[in-house]
Structure 1
């Protein structure tokens, strides 16, 4: 929901509750609190919208067969819109800006719903510092991680992304995920034994 609409709805709810008085005699937290603790249980539109945004991010960060189609489209759009500082990042390697160390900057002034939604997605990720975390990721999840510009790799390794060996791996062997690199390494180990 656009901020302007959010503010308008919040204002109308307040006007309705307080019969259009200038000042509210009770603070907002109490009005939004559950009835059991003395509140009025009025819907907090802003908190509700932030929760919806976080659920969208959660859906965006699913991988493999669980990944929704819109997230794949979003990744393609985000990979297309990068700042000038990221021109050196190989376009073939731009898979997901959350899992990788390259930055994105979706169009801020585009008049499309998709551009607005992507802006909201990126803003939510930055605001709440959302990142990939877990106690133990499955081997399959680890294998689906992009290998180039890996978010958790040492920044010095980023320089290796443009080496001759890296170019061979990308072009000839089509290596873009940790799992693909692992399979290639296993094949090399079998040949040497």
Structure 2
């Protein structure tokens, strides 16, 4: 049956599959639901309210109603029996295809905006400690919504802070004005909550500032440079300005470089970049791909990676998968080169596919948004 559903060019009959067609539609609606705020269609605002109202009783006490956004970016679940059919199916495909919120490195501003309650990267997933008196006080008296608010409470930067219930430092006095009876306990609890966030999402995780001067200097002429056969610079700063809506991923259990479940991906260590040594020269690499019997069921692709200066070993091989094009083969060659060369080295890549260069350099952000 799977063979019959393949395109005719790949030996199938292009047989219609209603289940896959429906799931594709639900995924497109999921994408619309998770779009940036100014791009969301009207129906998703109704869906927001329906999801919030259908929250499970066990989760309702953890995150106040006013603090709930959606069950995809927060760790709470709605009761599916209380949802309309379409919203229930959207949840189903999100689970089936392992929707998660992820990036190699989470920008600090994004981490600060994440919810303090039902955080998706909280190591203690049961959130049992969020039902304590301190948690209730942080929600009701301190009105803590996100990690930025939580960090403000956790900061004990007053020299005269004693940590006792009767501490009279300015921070504790200000907390008492808000109605908090035990400021030191709330501060300690807030600090514990921050420490219970996985490293990738933890506010204490740092990232080096990457130099963007070369990209900025060459960005204006990159379109014409490619057409003229000149060098084009890869924008390594793209991920530093990601908003939450840009970080949702599906198929992470099958299509990621290091596949895993949605939960495993969310809890992974941050991808810390290393700066190349100031005196290090670029690694020159030729990465090319080719395909024979293109546009047919017999298409076969291959790649080759060559280091002219013999700094690293060459590599070549066949391209796996049923879908084979020359562009895909060249992309695999570039990927293989990036896997061979250490992360702290700068590469100068020569390839035989202008389209691949355009996709990963000139139109990387656009293609990333399109999946």
User: TM-score of the superposition, structure 1-length normalised?
Assistant: 0.63
Counterpart of 2:12?
Answer: 39
Counterpart of 1:103?
Answer: 77
Counterpart of 1:144?
Answer: 113
Instruction: Give 1:76's match in structure 2, choosing from 49, 64, 76.
Output: 49
Larger-Rg structure: 2
Quickly say closer, same or farther: Cα 1:159–1:31, change in 2 above 3 A.
closer
Matches within 5 A, 1:1-193: 28-62=1-35, 64-66=37-39, 68-92=41-65, 93-107=67-81, 115-155=84-124, 158-182=127-151, 184-185=152-153, 189=157
Whole-angstrom distance in 2 between the partners of 1:75 and 1:97: 9
Counterpart of 1:20?
Answer: none
Quickly say closer, same or farther: Cα 1:80–1:65, change in 2 above 3 A.
same
Residue 125 of structure 1 aligns to a residue whose secondary structure is helix
Structure number having the greater helix percentage: 1
Counting matched residue pairs gives 159
Quickly say closer, same or farther: Cα 1:116–1:64, change in 2 above 3 A.
same
User: TM-score of the superposition, structure 2-length normalised?
Assistant: 0.36
Structure number having the greater strand percentage: 2
The runs of 5 or more residues in structure 2 that have no matched partner are: 159-169, 172-371
Kindly indicate whether the alpha-carbon contact (under 8 Å) linking 1:78 and 1:106 is maintained by their aligned counterparts in 2: no
The runs of 5 or more residues in structure 1 that have no matched partner are: 1-27
Whole-angstrom distance in 2 between the partners of 1:142 and 1:59: 23
Residue 50 of structure 2 aligns to a residue whose secondary structure is helix
Q: Deviations over 1:15-41 (max 9, x none)?
A: xxxxxxxxxxxxx33432222223333
